């Protein structure tokens, strides 16, 4: 396998920052959206579906600068994060830890699946799986099993992305084939290990915090490098963190986050190009 682009989770501001960064890199001749493999987790699944659709990165970036209209405001507050961390940090069994987080998601009061599906569908340029290999991560809410959806899974792209974006305690788990699924970030905020086998890997990680038995991004990257891959990891810089703010689900911060990603591309372009070009 040649080049892999790994897109981590980070809410609506993470979507915007990643698209701004990708557009800025493309403007400088570093076309990460031309990856052979794209791995998307949560916000990254949205970006992955978008960049694999064939829509130019510049156009996707420009869309992030428009005033939000259909986005439902939400808050990923400290209370939700604390309950998530408490459930996930107990014990060393990763699947059981994820199932505890899934149980929180199943019992939470959230908007309906139907309304959330409409929001996800509106974010995607197409509902058809792309020709390029796209992996979308999710977690079975009941068993804690880590699941990777792709074009051969028999699951619609909207369902897969919706499941990957189903933040526990905020958005409803997504029903697929009688099972209910939550955010792929419950297993790992980035899931960079799914790029194993690629020779060159670029990882965009709006957040990389991990609790309990969650795989650490540092360990995933180390394993990729040990296997011979060249890897570049980009996280939001100080200006981007300020633009994103404390609530990654605040759509009013989308444009600022996108601009911050675009500006950061000028700083990291050489580092990314050394791996990618």
Q: Do the Cβ atoms of 76 and 262 come closer than 8 Å? A: no
Least confident of 23-32, 33-42, 63-72: 63-72
What pLDDT does residue 260 have? 98
What pLDDT does residue 87 have? 63
Average pLDDT over residues 224-242: 98
**Helix axes 113-123 and 157-164, enclosed angle (nearest 10):** 110
DSSP symbols for the chain = --EEEEE---HHHHHHHHHHHHHHHHHTT--GGG-SEEEE-THHHHHHHHHTTT--HHHHHHHHTSPPSSPPP----HHHHHHHHHHHHSSS-HHHHHHHHHHHHHHS----HHHHHHHHHHH-S-SSPPSSEEEEEEEETTT--EEEE-TTSS--HHHHHHHHT--TTTSPPEEETTEEEEEGGGT-SS-GGGGTT-SEEEEE-S-----TTPPPHHHHHHHHHHTT-EEEEE---HHHHHHH-S-TT-GGGHHHHHHHHHHHHHHHHHHHHHHH-
**Helix axes 43-51 and 113-123, enclosed angle (nearest 10):** 40
| Spatial CA neighbour of 214 closest among 132, 131, 101, 123 | 101
Task: With a cut of 80, say whether residue 248 has pLDDT above it.
Answer: yes
| Spatial CA neighbour of 202 closest among 219, 226, 227, 224 | 224
Average pLDDT over residues 229-251: 96
- Catalytic: which of 33, 42, 164, 257? 42
Tens-place pLDDT, residues 63-87: 999 998 767 777 766 666 666 666 6
Average pLDDT over residues 122-137: 96
Average pLDDT over residues 24-32: 97
Average pLDDT over residues 42-55: 97
Active-site residue 183, yes or no? yes
Q: Using CA atoms, how far apart are residues 258 and 240, in angstroms rounded to an integer? A: 9
* Residue 236 backbone phi and psi in degrees, to 5: -60, 135
Q: Using CA atoms, how far apart are residues 204 and 190, in angstroms rounded to an integer? A: 8
Q: Using CA atoms, how far apart are residues 194 and 37, in angstroms rounded to an integer? A: 10
What pLDDT does residue 222 have? 98
Mean pLDDT of the chain: 93
pLDDT band at 92, cuts 50/70/90? Answer: confident
269 vs 72 pLDDT, higher one: 269
pLDDT band at 89, cuts 50/70/90? Answer: low
pLDDT band at 30, cuts 50/70/90? Answer: very high
Active-site residue 42, yes or no? yes
Query: Nearest 5°: CA angle at 82, between 78 and 106?
Result: 105
- Catalytic: which of 33, 140, 183, 250? 183
Q: Using CA atoms, how far apart are residues 138 and 93, in angstroms rounded to an integer? A: 18
């Amino acid at each position: 396998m040649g080049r892999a682009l790994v897109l981590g989770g980070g809410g609506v501001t993470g979507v915007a920052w990643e698209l701004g960064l990708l557009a800025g890199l493309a403007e400088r001749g570093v076309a990460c959206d031309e990856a052979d493999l794209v791995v998307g987790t949560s916000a990254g699944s949205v970006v992955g579906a978008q960049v694999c659709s064939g829509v130019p990165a510049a156009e996707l970036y420009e869309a992030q600068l428009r005033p939000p209209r259909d986005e439902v405001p939400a808050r990923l507050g400290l209370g939700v994060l604390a309950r998530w961390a408490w459930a996930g940090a107990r014990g060393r069994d990763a699947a059981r830890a994820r199932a505890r987080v899934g149980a929180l998601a199943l019992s939470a009061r959230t908007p309906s699946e139907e309304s959330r599906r409409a929001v996800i569908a509106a974010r995607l340029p197409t509902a058809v799986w792309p020709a390029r290999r796209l992996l979308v991560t999710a977690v079975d809410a009941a068993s804690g099993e880590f699941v990777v959806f792709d074009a051969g899974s028999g699951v619609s792209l909207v369902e897969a992305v919706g499941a990957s974006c189903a933040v526990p305690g905020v958005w409803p788990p997504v029903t697929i084939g009688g099972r209910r699924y939550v955010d792929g970030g419950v297993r790992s905020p980035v899931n960079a290990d799914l790029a194993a086998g690629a020779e060159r890997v670029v990882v965009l990680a709006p957040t990389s915090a991990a609790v309990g038995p969650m795989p650490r991004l540092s360990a995933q990257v180390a394993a990729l490098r040990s296997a011979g891959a060249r890897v570049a990891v980009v996280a939001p810089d100080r200006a981007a963190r300020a633009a994103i703010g404390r609530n990654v689900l605040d759509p009013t911060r989308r444009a600022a986050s996108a601009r911050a990603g675009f500006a950061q591309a000028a700083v990291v372009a050489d580092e990314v190009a050394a791996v990618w070009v």
